Structure formats: C-alpha cells, structure tokens
Amino acid sequence: MLDVARAAVDAARAAGAGFADARVVAIESESLTVRNQEMEGIDRSSSQGLGIRVLLDGYWGFAATARLGEGEIHRTAELATRIAKAASRLPREPVTLAAVEPATGRYQTPMQQDPFTVPLEEKIALLMEATRRVQAVEGVTFAEGGIDLFRSRSWFASSEGSAIEQTIVHSGAGIDATAIGDGEMQRRSYPNAFRGHIAAAGWEHIAKLGLVEEAERTGTQAVELLSAHECPSEVTTLVLDSGQVELQIHESIGHAVELDRVLGMEEAYAGSSFVTPDDRGSLRFASALVSITADATLPGGLGTFGWDDEGVPAQRFPVIENGMFENFISSRETASVLGLPSTGAMRADGWQSLPLVRMTNISIEPREGTLADIIGDTKDGVFMATNRSWSIDDRRMNFQFGCEIAWRIRDGKLTQMYRNPNYTGITPEFWGRCDAVGGREDWTLWGTPNCGKGQPTQTARVGHGCAPARFRDVQVGVRA
C-alpha cells in the first residue's frame, strides 16, 4: 500500500502540486454489546481508502476515495489539486510548513495478545458474566457491557520523501448499571463512563480490567443513587477522581491549547480559545501544582503513535509547567505561523479526513498521595466521580460538568452520597484553585475515543493520564 500512497503523491505533483502527501488507511473495528443477558449486537466493520493532501501556491486541497485503482488515484490527485486552485479565489497569506526531516520507518502498538484473534465466545462470556453480576443486584433495571476493538493500518508518503507504515491497536471494555424509579434514572459505570477504559494495547488490557470483580459494586451504587440526596448547591471544596480529571483536562486544557483553534481556524464550529499566541511562557493557566504534559510516546495511550499524519515524529513536551502555559499542540502549518517546529499533533480519523491538530496524550503530572490521602486531608467538601455530562463555551472558559456520583467529605471521610452532582467554573480560575494533585499510585492513563472536531466532523482517539485532584471554592450543584 505504500506504493499506492507514493503513486498518489506522484500524481499530485504531476498535476501541479508543490507539496503533496498521501495516506492509505485501513481501519477494522469490532464492537460487542450485551444488555440484560441478551446480545445487543456484534458489529465488525472495515473501511479502506486513500486521502491526498496538496499545497498549490500556498493553498490547501484534499480529496479522498475508497476506490484504489490507478485511474482513480490520478483522478483524486487531480481533484485535490483543483480544490487547492479553487481555494485561491480568496487571497490569503500562503501556507508555509515548519520543516521536518523526511521520515522512513514502521510503528506498531506494543501488545501481548491481538484482541481480534480472541474468540468471540470468550468475549461474549466475559460480558455475560460481568453483566449477570450487575443484574443480580436487586433494583438494577439494566446491566450493560461492551467491548470495543480498533485497528488502524496506515501507509504515509510525502513529496518530501517520507515513507511510513503504522499499525495502531486499541482495546477497551466496560460495564454499567442503570436503576430507574420514582422519576429518577441513575447510572454507574466501571471502569469509566462511555464504554469503559480503552487503551493502546491488546486483549491483556481487557483481561486486567476486573469487570467481573467490580460488577456488584457498580450495580449497588446505581441502586443507592436512586434514593440519595440531590447534590446541594453551594460553593465548596471539590475533589475529583481521576476519571473526571480526564474530562476536565480534555475540555478545558487540551482543546484550549490546540494551535489551530488559537489561530481561529475552528472559529465557526468548535470555536476558538481564550489562550493567545503571545501567552507562551507568560499566562498563569493554573496553580503551581499543575503541570500538564503532551506525550505521544506514552505506552498505552490512545494518542500514542510513531509519527503524526504529517510524518512528524511523536514527541513529549510540557504544555503547562508549574501552572505556567508553555507550549501549544500544533501542526506544521500552525507552528510555522509562530515560527516554531511542529509538536507533531496532526491527525485524521481515517483516510477520508483531512488531518487536524488533535490532542495526543495530554496528562497531568502526578504529585503526591493517593485519592484517600486527598480526601483524608479535606475537612469539608464534595467528592465527585465518573463523568456524566460536559459542556463548555466556544473559547473554553465557562464550563459545566456533571458526574455520576458524589459524596460529602466531612473531617476527611466520605459520608453522605449525593446524586446528580455537577459543578461549574471559569477555566483559569478553576485550575488556579487546584491545591492537591494525587501521586503515581492513583494516576491512570484513560482513553477518550470520541473527541469531535472539524468539518466534516472527525472523531479522534486521544489519551489523558490523570490523578485525582482537589479544587477550592467551586460552585457545585447547579440547578435549573
């Protein structure tokens, strides 16, 4: 398939492109869902095609096709070039690309057991047993479990001489319990909401999740939530588990430091950012306890790869260091605007999509102590766990996030359970009030496989390494 990508690049150059790159991508996925001891579905999908990106006189063009015959490759390359020509209808500063050394090589997600080779019977049996135990809890209305597997093989070539082959494998699974009664519906998930915990790994990741072992607790908490008190509305100390810190980082930090958003390239749809190009090294984004790292080399992360979709090698660099904003996540084009090298974050969700600046693994650096230590050190406050709802404004400032469950913290102990907890804040104020970040013991590298951005909308798979954290003076319990 590398030959197809090279042929596409050659065809684009022959059609007049000054620069071209091409990706042949073949994606396979397998998804199983069990609900109340019935198969909701087993779905196996595959998609393969070619995407060609060209620069002509400083204007971009992109075209993609599922047809890989020679004639179609040429037609698609010519169309990409024609699209670039059409873009010059509105004059602009020509696009320039930050320099990158042409790369040649292969990358494969390290794994012990190819999840696609595990018999379906074994996968079904795991989900059936885990959900049987959830459903055995009296009061559980629905017990659901799912397994999701993903494999992407890509072949990248560029007119600068790059030739890269990569195979990325992601595996994940989760269970959830739903209890319905008295006009309420409550859900608990394990290990995380929205299909569980997904990682760049093989079946060994799913085997270690402990779905069966955690099933009863998951069901019990869903039922208990039905009769729990509503989370009170107050300004208080908020402790978040690492799963909710994942969402907090994703929405209020990860998207805010995407350089394409900062430069206005997503203005009309996903929005822009409160962070400006001049803020590097001068914006206090968070308290001194907060250091955020982008790391596309992190084992197990959904944002881990060998090279991004521009052939830029995977990198690790600080985004926020001791509370100060340091670096954007960027592409060759956006980095060039600031006169910087690309940080290697340009990714597409398939052959049919134009690469965009996407998060890699955006993680909080662990500090000290466990979740229990943080709670033990809190006199009064609310502990919230597991994301349920998220909303943030178009500049990533005002957010309101909901969680599945919460407890009152009194004198260092979890006491009363609360249902329907949520909290709201303004991004730099909220992060500025962070006064505790947990240590390595409770730090988890979560996967976010559903990050939407771009037009046509793309769904990126990104990672967030997260520890529990504490925030002071937060408005919780927002009601209509």
Partner 1 sequence: MPGTIGPDQVRRVADAALGIGGADGVEVLFMHSWGGLTRFASSAIHQSTWSEDTDIRVRVVKDGRIGVASANGFTPEESRAAAESAREIAGVAAPDPLFPGLAPPAPIEATDRLDEAIASASPEQRAETVADVVGRCEGLEAAGAYETSAMEMAVANSEGQFAWAPWTLASLSAVAKSQGGGTGFAETFATTLGDVDASGVGERAARKARSSDEPRDLDPGAYTVVLEPAAVSTLVGFMAFIGFGGRALLEGRSCLSGKNGQRVAAPTVSIYDDATSPLTIGSPFDFEGVPRRRVELIREGIFLDGVYDLRTAKQTGKEPTGHALPAPNPEGPFPLNLFMEPGDATLEEMIAATERGVLVTRFHYSNIVHEVESTITGMTRDGTFAIEDGEIAHPIKNLRFTQSILEALTNTTMIGRETELASEFFFSSSRVPALRIEGFHFTGRSDH
Q: Which stretch binds partner 1 (CB under 8 A): 214-222, 320-328, 416-424, 437-445?
A: 416-424
Binding to partner 1 in span 165-194, by CB under 8 A:
178, 180, 183-185
Q: Which stretch binds partner 1 (CB under 8 A): 37-45, 169-177, 207-215, 370-378?
A: 37-45
Q: Is 170 within 8 Å of 198 (Cβ atoms)? A: yes
Task: Print the binding letters for residues 141-170 with partner 1: x by CB under 8 A, - otherwise.
Answer: xx-x--------------------------
Q: Which two tokens stand for residue 478?
A: 């927002």
457 binds partner 1 (CB under 8 A): yes
Q: How far is the CB of 327 from partner 1 (least distance, A)?
A: 22
Would you say 51 or 468 has its CB closer to partner 1? 51
Pick from 117, 278, 379, 479: which binds partner 1 (CB under 8 A)? 479
Q: Which residues pair with 29 in a beta bridge?
A: 45, 150
Q: Name the nearest CA neighbour of 24 among 336, 352, 324.
A: 352
Q: Which stretch binds partner 1 (CB under 8 A): 90-98, 153-161, 196-204, 361-369?
A: 90-98
48 binds partner 1 (CB under 8 A): yes
Pick from 212, 283, 372, 426: which binds partner 1 (CB under 8 A)? 426
Would you say 41 or 161 has its CB closer to partner 1? 41
> Which is it for strands 163-181 and 184-190: parallel, antiparallel or unpaired?
antiparallel
Q: How far is the CB of 293 from partner 1 (least distance, A)?
A: 26
Pick from 8, 73, 84, 177: which binds partner 1 (CB under 8 A)? 84
Quickly list DSSP for 197-214. EEESS-HHHHHTS-TTTT
Q: How far is the CB of 383 from partner 1 (least distance, A)?
A: 20
Q: Helix H segments across 328-383?
A: 332-337, 371-376
Residue partners of 468: CB distance under 8 A and separation at least 6: 239, 240, 241, 242, 245, 370, 371, 374, 437, 438, 442
Q: Name the nearest CA neighbour of 364 among 454, 461, 240.
A: 240
Pick from 71, 119, 138, 278: which binds partner 1 (CB under 8 A)? 119
> Which is it for strands 469-476 and 356-357: parallel, antiparallel or unpaired?
unpaired
96 binds partner 1 (CB under 8 A): no
271 binds partner 1 (CB under 8 A): yes
Q: Phi then psi for 302, rounded to 5 degrees?
A: -70, -15
Backbone φ/ψ region at 223: left (φ over 0), alpha (ψ -120 to 50), beta: alpha
357 binds partner 1 (CB under 8 A): no
SS3 256: helix
Q: How far apart are CA 283 and CA 262, in angstroms?
A: 14
Q: How far is the CB of 470 from partner 1 (least distance, A)?
A: 22
Binding to partner 1 in span 7-36, by CB under 8 A:
33-35
Q: How far apart are CA 164 and CA 162, in angstroms?
A: 6
47 binds partner 1 (CB under 8 A): yes
Q: How far is the CB of 454 from partner 1 (least distance, A)?
A: 8
Q: How many helices (H) and strands (E) does the chain have?
A: 10, 24
Would you say 68 or 414 has its CB closer to partner 1? 68
Would you say 338 or 414 has its CB closer to partner 1? 338
How many Cα atoms within 13 Å fall on the side-chain side of residue 173?
Answer: 27
Pick from 64, 199, 375, 405: which binds partner 1 (CB under 8 A)? 64
Q: How far is the CB of 63 from partner 1 (least distance, A)?
A: 5
Q: Which stretch binds partner 1 (CB under 8 A): 138-146, 150-158, 166-174, 197-205?
A: 138-146
Pick from 86, 99, 136, 235: which binds partner 1 (CB under 8 A)? 86
Q: How far is the CB of 419 from partner 1 (least distance, A)?
A: 10
Please provide the size of the chain in residues: 480
Q: How far apart are CA 142 and CA 223, in angstroms?
A: 11
Q: How far is the CB of 456 from partner 1 (least distance, A)?
A: 6
Backbone φ/ψ region at 440: left (φ over 0), alpha (ψ -120 to 50), beta: alpha
Would you say 392 or 462 has its CB closer to partner 1? 392
478 binds partner 1 (CB under 8 A): yes
Task: List b or e across 118-132, with b for residues whose CB sees 16 or more CB atoms inside 10 angstroms.
Answer: beeeebbebbeebbb
Pick from 268, 276, 416, 440: which binds partner 1 (CB under 8 A)? 268
Q: How far apart are CA 50 and CA 473, in angstroms?
A: 51
Q: Which stretch binds partner 1 (CB under 8 A): 12-20, 98-106, 339-347, 455-463?
A: 455-463
